[in-house]
Structure 1
Amino acid sequence: MKNIPYKKHVLVCMNETCKMQGSGKIYEKLKARIKELNLKQDYRPTQAICLGICGKGPNIAIWPEGTLYCGFTEDKIEDLIQKHLLRDEVLNELLYKKDNEG
C-alpha cells in the first residue's frame, strides 16, 4: 500500500439517514480539526455516499484497515483523531458489530 498518498482516509457517510443524524456537521468539524492540528498531509476526511448500515448512523469507516464505527457523534471527533488516527487504538464503544446490524 505504498502508493496511497495518505496514512488513512476517514469516510463519513453522507446518505440521507446519516445526514439527518448529524453526519454533515461531523464531517465539517472533523475536517476543520484535522486542518487545525496540521494533519492534512496524512489524514483525509472524505464524504461517502453510503456505508450500508443506515439504521446505525452516523457511520464512519477508516481506510485502508476497514474499521467501521456506528452511532458516531461530534463529541467523539477528538477521540477518533487522538486515539485511532494517531495511535491506532480502536474506539471499541463505537465499533460495528455484525450482530447489531440495522
Structure 2
Amino acid sequence: MINGNYTEFLDNLDYGEEMYLKYKGRIYFVEGWHESEEPNKYFMCCFIVKGPANDEKDGYLWKTYKDSLHECAREFLEQPIFEGKKLPEIEQEIEWVDDEMR
C-alpha cells in the first residue's frame, strides 16, 4: 500500500474508520458505523468522492449491514470495487491518502 501500512489499514477498517483510497485517478471513501436504528447491526460503505463515477443508483459502489464491523470489513475485502478488482489484489498499487483533495 502506497503511503501506508496495509495491516494498519485493515485494523482501521475493522473499527469503521473513515479512510480515503486513491486508485487510477479516483478517490474512494470507505467508512462504517454502528446503526442506531437497529442496535445489533453495523453499516459499512464505499463510494467515489473524486474522479469519474460509475452508474451507482444510490451513490454507493458497495454497502452492507452485518452483525459486526469486522464482518463488514471482511465482506468489503471480497468486493471487486476497484475497477473490477478486490483490494487485496491491488494492495501494492492503491494509495492511502489523507483526504479527498489528493
TM beyond 0.5: no
More helix by share: 1
Which structure ranks higher in relative contact order (CA pairs < 8 Å, sequence separation ≥ 6)? 2
Tell me which protein shows more strand as a share of its residues: 2
